[in-house]
Amino acid sequence: MDPNANLARQRTILAELRDMDARIERAEARGEGTDMLEEEQLSLLSELADLAEALDGWLSKGGFLPAAWERASA
């Protein structure tokens, strides 16, 4: 597993979920259905859970941190 790619995808999904929340709110305000958006949201949440579980497993087995999480040595 590539922890850097995993973290990048998690961050992308989080941004997509935030955007989707706003899209759902706008659709509801217009009285439009949101079933398709909510299904897409559930799919993204499932993928996010899988990625988080994979990264946890990687780190628990001694894998290295994603570069974005490494502390700079002072």
The ranges assigned to domains in the chain are 3-53
Under a CB-based contact definition with an 8 Å cutoff, are residues 34 and 27 in contact? Answer: yes
Low-confidence residues in the chain, pLDDT < 70? 72-74
Predicted TM-score (pTM) above 0.75? yes
Residues 19, 20, 25, 27, CA torsion sign: positive
Under a CB-based contact definition with an 8 Å cutoff, are residues 68 and 55 in contact? Answer: no
| Residue that the structure tokens 């570069």 belong to | 67
- Model pLDDT, residue 72: 61
